[in-house]
Structure 1
Amino acid sequence: MTAAPAHTPEAVLQALRENQSAPNGPLRNARAEELVAAAESTGDRDLVRKALFELIAAYEFSTERGRMLVPFARLMQEWDKDPSAFDQHDVHRFHWMFKWVSSGMLTLPEIPLATVERWLSEMERRYRTAGYSERAVRQAEFTLAHETGDAERAARAFAAWTAADRDSMADCHACELNDQGRYRLHQGRTDGALDTWAPVLDGRSTCAEEPHRVLAESLLPLVRSGRLDAARAHHLRGHRLARGNESLLPAIGRHIEFCALTGNEARGLEVLAEHAAHLPADGNPAARLDLLGGTLVLLRRLLALGHGDQPAVAYGGSPRTVAELHGLLDAEAAAIAARFDARNGSTAVSERLRDRLAQEPLVERLPLGVRTGRLSAPRGAAPAPRETVGDAPRTGTAEDLPELVAEARRLRALGHPRTAEVWDRVAAALAAAGQAPDPLLAADLLDRRALAAAQAAEEAAGPLFQDVLEAYRAAGDPAGAALAEQRLAVAAIRGGAEPEAVRDLLARAADAARTLDEAEPARTRRVAAVELLRIRYEAMRREEAGDDGGAWTDAALAEFVATYAEGDGVDDLVGDAEQLRADHAWRSGDPERADALLASAVRRIVGAGRPWDAAEHLARRARLLLDLGRVDEAEDAARAAVEHGAELVDAGGSAALRTTLAEVLYRQDGKEAEAVAHALEAAHRWDAAGESAGPGAYARMLLAQALGAVGRHAEAAEVLESALPDLLKHGDEHVVRARDALARSLRALGDAEGAAEQYLRAAEVTAAWEHQGAHAQLATLAAECLSDGGLDDDAVAVYRRAVGLWETVGDPVSLARALRSLAWLEARGDFVAARRLMDRALAAVAADGDPQLLLERARTWSQTAQLVMEAADARAEDEEAPGGDASGGGGLATAGQESLALLDRAVAAAAALGPAGLDERGQCTGRAAWTERRLGRVEAAVSRVRSMIAAIGPAGTPDEERAVERLEFLLEKLTEAA
């Protein structure tokens, strides 16, 4: 049997370095433990110390924080034996870890309070001996006092902590502000806490775990302060930062709690599911209690809503419902809190847990913008009452029944969107009074039931409308019967009835309308409505048969408009006909005529006193105007659509209006922030309409793009990642748009590899498109991201693909840029190949007459000059290396002359562009000056710069002023170097 090879110190040291960058968690911890044993096997005490440091750090940022005590005790023995064996860096780390151990002891209820106090004293003694400030010690004392419920001692320690000098042992400023803000929040000073956290939240003070933790801590204070937009943003941003990080499980608990108290229970369950594996982790009882606390807030809220049977997450090896999981975790959390109380000699921990679990929801619903699942219907739940016109829902009474009936009939005559709600109140009033309706009212209520069935696409709608027809006839209301005939025809059309059956029903409806008494106010409206319905149906039949029928439809609608343009009470129907004609004109390539028709339709419908019916037409007009490039008018139309649609009760209808306004605003520079608000509201309303996966996904894409445009990339990425599975079903154009937006946000967040993946996936989609410009652009962006992420080989391969695509597309500017980027990657190993690529880039833009090509030639000459100098430097380094070739032959001087010649050509090209080339000309002049300086020709360098300053002359434009300022600064540097 072959023995395992002995560990070498070099191999162990390399493994320690690799483990430092590994994800926090059990695997990193286990590897760190192995490396301590490996270090010991080498007999190298310095290596053992390094391994112990790594093991302690691994424990600190995991759920096994309590295990750091043993390796730190060993490290302290090493220190006490020979402090001189620790280098300056390790001396600092050793004392720094005292703080970890001190706070770590507090997280373990089995460690007696007396032991914690002794350790604090030991920490104070060693810090004093080492010459450190007492700031860190007093902070540790404050934490001990606060956690154990000693308010007086906590106040004294807090004052001493914040008054002491900051030194190298003090926590980073961001972490200190976190603790200080939490203390002020504990004192009931919400505004004081938020003010304290402000430098962390706005990015002025950060560290490895901040603002992650402060973002979580700020959630509920922000909601309580009414700053809902900030709370939403902090959740999306903070959850993204904390997700999957074992050392941030308390923050995850805060995010779950936030979801529970803002009407986002389904989102809370999703966050819990991501971290459910950590629920039983007991290596850090304090952190576990924080996670359990937030989880229990959510579970209690779900129980209160009747979702006890809702599947939650697996626990103890078995799937659990909400009720089951609550029962298990409630008992465990109480037991952990009791253990802390017993150790601390107070009830502080249990009281905090009790207060946390007793919280009531802060808002009914705070839309977050992300796509979440839906909770199953609670057992035995009754439908929630809906908002009614003017007032909150109320139960009708016998006394107000006549008024309610009159109001319902008035709203029905107007076609008001909230008519159904008032009829429901009428029905409730009848039930409350124990009355039976008269025949006419019974027919009205039956009509309400039939319309609800039709809206829900129930098969019973047709038979119900037949019953409505008979009920109105029996009640002696021929106008109501005529309307029921029309609705029977509509139900047949929606149900896919045979054409002849539909035509028979339309003929019956027309006859019923025409036979109404001439004095009947509704006669003209009934006749016109049936005629418009007939035209729409016949147009649909022609389209289904493959006969465009556009000319027939337009002619029929024109005749309808001419017939009823002066009709009494049918202006809205005439407007609907004009809208249909507008749609035909738009499809036929006459957008200006379509716009005029839509504008007329809106005027008629609004003039008829039915603004809610004009809202959709206004939204159509906004989209048309946007296509025509008349953005200001499009915005006016979109805003009017939202205003006129204020009465709509259909969530999908109002969501569509908001989506249109959001898109119009997003297309305008400077209005993206307002687009965020409308897209967020649109997504929320699409969710309410049950359309999360359809138009709701598009609204989320708009939301993410607008968020990205205003620099809120973490929120944008969170929203897009939640919506991407839905967007993938929306067609190639949406897929590419979504992946491009996600890539932009990931790149802004520093995730270059993730951005490259999204660009490449989008490029795969566009590879099948006829025009390859989008494919080439996405490949180029992917290559840039791969290069940014240090994946040079992959970047080279994708750049080569992009170069081939740009050659196919015939875009010389983009081709030259891709070739130059590829050249710089090749230059890391092969300057000859890189120079050939630069020459190809120059050839791509060699044509005369195009200013953009001339600018690209200048840039290519300038970058080739840089490449020449870097190649010379690389050769010089090789020649100086042991065994190198010393036959350089004056390489630097030769390269310098070639570089200057290239830069002179670049300067001349940029100068020929006039003001458009000023910036490039200045950069090239600066590079030439430094090249002269490297060749020892300081006077020539200065002369170049002064010549350009003189050429610019008295600075007139802001660009010229900036150029002169930069050149004068360059002169100072050149003089200093001389």
Structure 2
Amino acid sequence: MTGFATRIRSLFDEIDNTPWGPQEQALVAQAVALAQESGDERLEYEARLRQTSSANMGGDTDLMLTSFAWCLAHHDADPQRFPAEIDRAGDVLWQYKWMASALGGSPEFPSEQIAAVLDDMEAHYRRAGVGPSGVLMARFEDAWAAGRMDEATDLQRTLEATPRDDYSHCDACVRSQFAGFFIETGREDEAIRLVDEMIENGFSCGEEPEHALSRILLPYLRAGMLDEARTAHLRSYRLAKDNPDNLAIVAKNIVFCVVTGNEARALALVERHLPWIVHDGLNADAHATALGAFALALDAVAAAGHPELTVRGSDAEALVPVFGEHEGAWRVDDLAAAAWAAAGSIAAAFDRRNGTDAHTRNLERLRDTGAERYDVPIRSHDFSTAVPATPAVTREERLDRAVALAQAGSIAAIEPIRELLTDASPDERVTLSAHLLGGLVAVERTDEAEAFLPERFAALRAAGHVEQADLEERLGLVLFGKDLATAGDALRAEVAAAESAPAEVRADLIATLAVARMYEGAFAEAREDAREGARLFAEAGDATRSQGVRLLEVEAAASASQTDEARALVADLLAEPISDGRRARALAARARLHGAAEEFAEGAADADETVRLLLTLGADDLRVGEAFVLAGALHEDAGSGALAAGRYRSAVERFESAGAPTADARYRLGRAMITSGMPQEAVDALHEVLQEETAAEVPAGSRAITVGLLARAYEGADDYGNAVGAWGFAADLHEEAGEVDGQAHALVQQGRHLGNFGEFDDAVTAVDTAIGLIRGQEEQVGLQAEALHLLAQAKMQRGDEDAFDVIDEALALGRANEAHWYVADVTDTRARLLAARGRTDEAVATALQAADGFAAAGDAGSGAGSELLAARLLVGAERSADAVALYRSTLDHAAENEQLRQQAALELGDVYESLGRHAEAAEVRSTLPA
């Protein structure tokens, strides 16, 4: 097998095991290019079969049509050499089914051309002995899309009566298409039945079930199946959101957000997917669908009171052909009008081509749909396991629930407590009124708390707690948490004067003083006060309040670095019968202690249980969000990035619902997504962080950290163009903040990418600037070394005479710091520079020196790369016999780098052939994969 064939077959294997998307598309393009370079049309045929499928899944209609036409022409010319189907590569006859739909998706193609394609498809199927199902489905889809509804109805019925064959659409696609047709023709019940059966049986394919789920959203809502609709939306959008070819699916999900009152979510989706309307220039049908949905969403946002908002991303130059010229980003109301106009223009073009009014009527129906309303709030619970609150039915259950919520520190207790106070017993009034005041003070509703105090005093006196009532009349809301940061002296005076007071009074005072000492940073003293307060409550017979103060003692002991004591205290508490509210707080405390001891998995388990308890109680979103953040942090520290991301995402949703800032949780979410292999999602999360930080005028240094993480997300998503921009922005922000080290780091990373793009002038500027910022700083020697190496490489590519000077400086720095691997790596670069200058003998010697250095540093694999360089240089200098030993050494040292080993084997085989050593050539080639 030739070297080209081996490389291309290797690419085919990689393509066939890579999910649809940018990485797979790049591999396909590489395979096609290599096949063309090889001149082997059979290999090119296999590559292009893959390319047709890839382009179809990626929404590149132009490429799909071109690739298919090439394949079909070769198949028709020589069916033996270019068979219709090649295992794993594709099937021309199957791909034929996409062609009429692709042409029909753009009004640029006349109806006669579409009809000719359908006829040609039918002729090919007949010649191949293929059943009629695939052709009938293609004709049905064309008639339906063009608005020839009678014809489409007849074809649909014929299809139902036609036996399935190998070229029939899959069950998922057939059900989805028929469901969409039934919806449009007023048979929504039948559509629901089809989709429900599809979901129940797990039918799926390339764009299913997300397409079917998006189609069934409105029928579900109209049938009162609100929960099913919500679930379908969350799943459909989640599956569709990363592929521009799913534009029509996203559009239907946006319409769902509009009619369910989720205008803010609808706007976010519009902003995210605006670029998709220029992704595939030949998919005008999807553009019209999306533009109509965008317009409907923007109208809804305006109607909700926000017509003046600007739509992020609407000022993109690529959108000018769609919406027209506009200065800056569009306002919501203005863009809505522009989107309706653009959608109407496309619809009219389709109707002229088709001779119907189907597309115009679809837009009219969409406007009518916008008036529908269903109450389905979205909180994105699909990304985490949401535990529903246990119903509290009887008064006793409601009382226990309210107290437990208060003991958990949740403001969700406030309203239930108010309701329970209306018919509470004297003892209940004492307990409930204390929790109510504590909750009101915690959320700074102090006016309400002050107004309620007289009722509290009356409740205490009615229950016989006269001394407590007198104390609270003197101190007011201080005993419930108000102004404790400055109340220490007053409380100490009260404690000194209360030696003869009842135990419960002294307990309350001392426990409150303990909290004040926490504000003062006197943690050891706070712990002693908490211990005494707990003892006094127990002496007074109030075990419940004693437990609460013992939780305070745990916190104080942990803050005083008395970790072992804190762990023992919390273990004792958890061993006792306590409410779920107190248990949640105790588990959260233990989770933090586990974290401090680097017992992250154990801490994460406790934090997850905390979340579960809070959700079961129905705690408020802010409290639950904080628990999710704790769980996320511990999972992240435990190395479980995916689990951490789920917790952080849930925290973001909870904070959003509570109207609380989300930047910290989103930042954590983005970081966890990067580490767990979800960089594209991380980009979205971190953009939200940056937007929030910018709006809040967060200092430049903090924003620089966010942008740096965003740059890493772009890198993980292979979006190096945006990564370059992000690192540049990070450098600017660090400079604004006066953070030289951060600026230098960002410039070095930017310079690396610029060099990879071949922008060597800009790379030199960025890296040289970074070196100037940190030169001579001992703590930045690692970054300076990296920068010097990058600078040398960029200068080498430019042909700069001083490239050797930079390399020598890098080598000197590495040797001074005994960085052996680094020295070997820079030495390898020096060898390549020598080779580029035509100094072959020196280059070979230097490459071998680099190989020795790598070996000494314990990296024989990198050394193999240097040896391969030396061998190639010798071959180029017509010293092939001398190169054999180096190739052999490369093969020995590249055992863990299969790609390098195969490349060396291929080249060594060619060298043996050139030397007339054919048996040895065959032997080394036999080690290559077939």
- Range into which the TM-score falls when normalised by the shorter chain: 0.5 to 0.7
Taking the aligned partners of 1:966 and 1:275, their CA distance within structure 2 comes to: 42
Taking the aligned partners of 2:296 and 2:581, their CA distance within structure 1 comes to: 42
Taking the aligned partners of 1:256 and 1:487, their CA distance within structure 2 comes to: 58
SS of 1:391 mapped into structure 2: coil
Q: Which residue of 1 aligns with 2:768?
A: 800
TM superposition shift of 1:717: 1.0
The percent identity for this pair of structures is 18
Taking the aligned partners of 1:732 and 1:624, their CA distance within structure 2 comes to: 33
Taking the aligned partners of 1:561 and 1:158, their CA distance within structure 2 comes to: 78
Contact 2:259 2:371 in 1 (8 A): no
Going from structure 1 to structure 2, the CA distance change for 1:232 and 1:864 (only over 3 Å counts) comes to same
2:547 partner amino acid: D
Q: Which residue of 1 aligns with 2:836?
A: 870
TM superposition shift of 1:498: 11
Q: Which ranges in structure 2 are unaligned for 5 or more consecutive residues?
A: 1-58, 63-97, 129-133, 183-190, 221-226, 312-322, 916-930
1:634 aligns with 2:603: yes
Within-5 A mapping of 1:585-734: 585-586=560-561, 593-594=562-563, 596-601=565-570, 603-604=572-573, 607=576, 609-616=578-585, 618-619=587-588, 622-623=591-592, 625-626=594-595, 628-646=597-615, 647=617, 649-669=619-639, 671-691=640-660, 693=661, 696-727=662-693, 734=702
Going from structure 1 to structure 2, the CA distance change for 1:195 and 1:782 (only over 3 Å counts) comes to farther
Taking the aligned partners of 2:375 and 2:487, their CA distance within structure 1 comes to: 58
TM superposition shift of 1:799: 1.1
Contact 1:510 1:530 in 2 (8 A): no
SS of 1:832 mapped into structure 2: coil
Q: Which residue of 2 aligns with 1:471?
A: 458
Taking the aligned partners of 2:487 and 2:379, their CA distance within structure 1 comes to: 51
TM superposition shift of 1:143: 1.6
Q: Which residue of 1 aligns with 2:749?
A: 781
Q: Which residue of 2 aligns with 1:971?
A: 908
Q: Give CA-to-partner distance per residue, 1:585-644, whole Å, 9 cap, x none.
A: 24xxxxxx2354255245326625145335445445544544554433433443344345
Going from structure 1 to structure 2, the CA distance change for 1:959 and 1:806 (only over 3 Å counts) comes to farther
TM superposition shift of 1:802: 2.6
Of the three residues 824, 827, 836, the one matched with 1:858 is 824
Count, aligned residues: 759
TM-score (norm 2): 0.65
1:471 partner amino acid: A
Q: Which residue of 2 aligns with 1:269?
A: 267
Contact 2:610 2:627 in 1 (8 A): yes
Within-5 A mapping of 1:348-359: 349=362
Taking the aligned partners of 1:826 and 1:794, their CA distance within structure 2 comes to: 11
Taking the aligned partners of 1:253 and 1:409, their CA distance within structure 2 comes to: 43
2:263 partner amino acid: E
Contact 2:102 2:283 in 1 (8 A): no
Taking the aligned partners of 1:869 and 1:556, their CA distance within structure 2 comes to: 76
SS of 1:846 mapped into structure 2: helix
Contact 2:683 2:710 in 1 (8 A): yes
Q: Which residue of 2 aligns with 1:537?
A: 516
Taking the aligned partners of 1:561 and 1:645, their CA distance within structure 2 comes to: 25
Q: Give CA-to-partner distance per residue, 1:396-429, whole Å, 9 cap, x none.
A: xxxx76x5787589769978967545445547xx
Taking the aligned partners of 2:753 and 2:513, their CA distance within structure 1 comes to: 58
Taking the aligned partners of 1:278 and 1:233, their CA distance within structure 2 comes to: 16
Of the three residues 861, 866, 871, the one matched with 1:919 is 861
Moved more, 790-799 or 615-624: 615-624
Within-5 A mapping of 1:183-582: 186=181, 188=191, 189-190=194-195, 198-199=205-206, 226=231, 230-234=235-239, 236-238=241-243, 241=244, 250=248, 253-260=251-258, 264-272=262-270, 290-291=289-290, 294=293, 311=307, 343=356, 349=362, 364-367=377-380, 390-391=390-391, 420=414, 422-424=416-418, 426=420, 453-472=440-459, 475-478=462-465, 482=469, 485=472, 489-491=476-478, 496=483, 503=490, 507=494, 524-537=503-516, 540=519, 543=520, 549=522, 552-553=525-526, 556-557=529-530, 569=543, 570-582=545-557
Contact 2:104 2:142 in 1 (8 A): no
Taking the aligned partners of 2:465 and 2:536, their CA distance within structure 1 comes to: 24
Taking the aligned partners of 1:631 and 1:871, their CA distance within structure 2 comes to: 55
Taking the aligned partners of 1:186 and 1:474, their CA distance within structure 2 comes to: 73
Taking the aligned partners of 1:124 and 1:270, their CA distance within structure 2 comes to: 40
1:367 partner amino acid: S
TM superposition shift of 1:932: 1.7
Q: Which residue of 1 aligns with 2:50?
A: none
TM superposition shift of 1:759: 2.0
Taking the aligned partners of 2:773 and 2:126, their CA distance within structure 1 comes to: 62
Contact 1:309 1:321 in 2 (8 A): no
1:829 aligns with 2:805: no
CA RMSD, 1 decimal: 6.0
Contact 1:485 1:509 in 2 (8 A): no
TM superposition shift of 1:126: 9.9
Within-5 A mapping of 1:930-941: 930-941=872-883
Taking the aligned partners of 1:970 and 1:626, their CA distance within structure 2 comes to: 54
Taking the aligned partners of 1:799 and 1:319, their CA distance within structure 2 comes to: 40
Going from structure 1 to structure 2, the CA distance change for 1:233 and 1:714 (only over 3 Å counts) comes to farther
Q: Which residue of 2 aligns with 1:906?
A: 850
Taking the aligned partners of 1:421 and 1:321, their CA distance within structure 2 comes to: 39
1:899 partner amino acid: A
SS of 1:652 mapped into structure 2: helix
Going from structure 1 to structure 2, the CA distance change for 1:830 and 1:664 (only over 3 Å counts) comes to same
Q: Which residue of 1 aligns with 2:888?
A: 946
1:971 partner amino acid: L
Q: Which residue of 2 aligns with 1:839?
A: 808
2:690 partner amino acid: L
1:921 partner amino acid: G
Contact 1:263 1:366 in 2 (8 A): no
SS of 1:839 mapped into structure 2: helix
Q: Give CA-to-partner distance per residue, 1:525-563, whole Å, 9 cap, x none.
A: 5532321102333564xx4xxxx6566545545665777
TM-score (norm 1): 0.62
Q: Which residue of 2 aligns with 1:41?
A: none
Taking the aligned partners of 2:460 and 2:167, their CA distance within structure 1 comes to: 91
Q: Which residue of 1 aligns with 2:713?
A: 745
Contact 1:683 1:699 in 2 (8 A): yes
TM superposition shift of 1:919: 0.8
TM superposition shift of 1:185: 5.3
Taking the aligned partners of 1:805 and 1:412, their CA distance within structure 2 comes to: 54
Contact 1:256 1:272 in 2 (8 A): yes
Q: Which ranges in structure 1 are unaligned for 5 or more consecutive residues?
A: 1-60, 66-95, 108-115, 167-172, 203-210, 243-247, 371-386, 395-399, 431-435, 517-523, 587-592, 873-894
Contact 2:118 2:138 in 1 (8 A): no
Contact 1:483 1:526 in 2 (8 A): no
Moved more, 222-231 or 921-930: 222-231
TM superposition shift of 1:196: 8.5
Going from structure 1 to structure 2, the CA distance change for 1:904 and 1:564 (only over 3 Å counts) comes to same
TM superposition shift of 1:902: 0.4
TM superposition shift of 1:461: 3.4
Taking the aligned partners of 1:338 and 1:829, their CA distance within structure 2 comes to: 53
